[in-house]
Structure 1
C-alpha cells in the first residue's frame, strides 16, 4: 500500500505531471512521469468509468497501488507518476502480471 506522502493528492500535481511529464502507453495503461525535487516518489491514479463499474474500478486501483508501491521504491530517480487505466485494465486486473509488466516497462523506459 502506498503511504499518504507517496500519493499525488491535488489536481495541480496531476495536471503538471500530465502536461510536463513524459508519456508511455501500453495496452492496459498510460503512464505520465516527471522528475521531482521532493524527497520521495509519488503516484496518482486515474480510473474512469470506461474501465467498468465501481467494483471493477476499485479493484483496478487497488492492484495498481500495490504494484506502484513496489516499483516506485526501486526507482533510480525521484519521480511523480500518474497512471491512467484504460478499459483493457479491467481484464488485466485479474491477471496482475499483465499490469505489473506494463507498469515496470513504462517506468524503465521513462527512467532511461
Structure 2
C-alpha cells in the first residue's frame, strides 16, 4: 500500500491513540463533510480552497458542522473506533484535486 500499512491501497495514514483524544485541523478551511461514512465511520473532511482537502476518520465524536470555517489547531472531533476499524486510531488523509496523496509530505509538526 502506498501510504499506510497493509496489502490493499490505503489512501492515508493511521495514527494510533486512545479513544477520546482531541483531533485538530491541520490547516484552516471549510468543513465539506461532517457525519457518518460507511467505511470511515464518523468523519470530517475539510476543504482548504487550493485544491487540497483533508480527511479525519474513525472519530468517536465530531464537533464541527458542514460549511463551518475552522482554523489550524482547532479541535474538530475526538479519536475513536467507528466504521471499519480494527482499533482506536485516527485515519488521516490528504487529497489534492480529489486524488489521494501521501499525507506525510504535508505533516510539519508531527
**Fold conserved (TM > 0.5)?**
no
Structure with the bigger percentage of strand: 2
Structure with the bigger percentage of helix: 1
* Higher relative contact order, structure no. (Cα contacts within 8 Å, ≥ 6 residues apart): 1
